[in-house]
Amino acid sequence: MRSVTILGATGSVGTSTLDLIEREPDRYRVRALTANCDVAKLAAAAKRTKAELAVVADESCLPDLRAALAGTEARAAGGRAAVIEAAAMHADWTMGAIVGCAGLEPAMAAIANGGTVVLANKEPLVSAGEVVLAAAAKAGATLLPADSEHNAIYQCFDFARPERVRRIVLTASGGPFRQSTTEEMRRVTPEQAVAHPNWSMGAKISVDSATMMNKGLELIEAARLFPVPSDRIEIVLHPQSVIHSAVDYVDGSMLAQLGPSDMRVPIAHCLAWPDRMPTPMAPLDLVALGRMDFAAPDPVRFPALRLARAALEAGGAAPAILNAANEIAVAAFLARRIGFLEIAAIVEDVLHRYDPAPPESLDAVIAIDAETRAITAERVEDCVV
């Protein structure tokens, strides 16, 4: 019996994680489930899994949660600190599936416990990669990547002989505007941007996929997780999203992981690791698939790719600024306050304006994240359409 905590249990990744866990109730005991304010979904999941604790980050939602859990054994709690406390309660396996840098402190609390921490939540690795990895090493925690690309690389990477890796090939679907002109992208709506052709995901990552900032964040995430120089991480468009990424070795062998576009595959890998577990997905039908296509990405139509690579190469505070500015700009786009093309333009502008000293602690990253959000909010006001 393994104890499990899911941070961000009501989201897309959280729901997929619950689906797998609930198929094997004799193997998993749920300690804590957290959400921001989706009380109905959180309370239902807490009841089904007999969770010990359910937490809403937004404290104003706590009375509703208490009411929804009345008469059950699950405790209810609310507030940002309560989410961090839930993460700090020991669990053998923790899924980090909060969206954005809001997941950073809860992830750090889970890591400090020294268990297995699965990071779907990529933004903390982008903003605070060195701090997160140092904390995991200190606590003896095992970090596993659930992001499908990084999970694919993890499955193919020879950690004992990293010098034998020539290249990492990070695949990208290209999102819904892969073939759109810049002029067409100027007019896209939030509804069009969140309609990803292959994956069903939360709104923020769907917009990131449409701008290709998601691939930029993943480039930085890959550089954090795998001991390969950043100029040897290549992004290749692969619209079918069947090859989730590949590792190219010096002898000319390229190892890739293939699978359906369903997050339950990489999550199952992390849940069973180092073993394997069955999932409900049908086997990949290569004959039905017929073909796979590849192309080079276009950094002119998708400037987020260029910005992310520059931030990675600049190092220091740049990745944290890139991420925080992007979170604010994406939220403004989803709220229809700025246009689609303004997202990358604002991120670039903020990267030029703000140049703090490299952060060496969690507090320093949090301060840079907060300052970047304030600067970006001002830029959003200037761009409001």
Comparing CA positions, the residue from 136, 130, 135 lying closest to residue 358 is 130
Closest CA to 1 of 19, 33, 24: 24
**In this structure, what token pair is assigned to residue 250?**
């010096």
Token pair for 343? 């997202």
* Contact indicator for 245, 152 with CB cutoff of 8 Å: yes
Please identify, using beta-carbon distances, which residue of 62 and 263 lies nearer to ligand NDP: 263
Distance in Å, CB of 96 to ligand NDP, minimum: 8
**Is 149 marked within a binding site?**
yes
Q: Is 50 annotated as a binding residue?
A: no
**Least distance in Å: CB of 231 to ligand NDP?**
24
- Is 121 known as a binding-site position? yes
Residue nearest ligand NDP (C-beta atom) = 11
Which contiguous run of DSSP H or E holds residue 327? helix 318-334
Residue 117 CB, nearest distance to ligand NDP (Å)? 13
47 labelled as ligand-binding?
Answer: no
Residue closer to ligand NDP (CB basis): 203 or 383: 203
What residues line the site for ligand NDP (CB under 6 A)? Answer: 8-14, 35-38, 57, 83, 97-99, 102, 120-123, 147, 199, 201-202, 204-205, 263
Asked whether the beta carbons of 177 and 196 are under 8 A apart, the reply is no
Report whether 123 belongs to an annotated binding site. yes
Give whichever of 120 and 350 is closer to ligand NDP, judged by the CB atom.
Answer: 120
Q: Which is nearer to ligand NDP, 99 or 368 (CB)?
A: 99
CA 207, chain centre distance (Å): 13
> Whole-angstrom Cα distance, residue 129 to residue 358?
12
C-alpha angle 304-309-312 in degrees, rounded to nearest 5: 125
CB of 50 to ligand NDP, least distance (A): 19
Task: Tell me if 270 sits within 8 A of 146, measured CB to CB.
Answer: yes
Task: Report the nearest approach of ligand NDP to the CB of residue 14 (Å).
Answer: 5
Q: What would the two tokens of residue 104 be?
A: 């950073």
Choose between 105 and 349: whose C-beta lies nearer to ligand NDP: 105
230 is in an annotated binding site: no
Q: Which residues are documented as binding site for NADPH? A: 10-13, 121, 123, 202
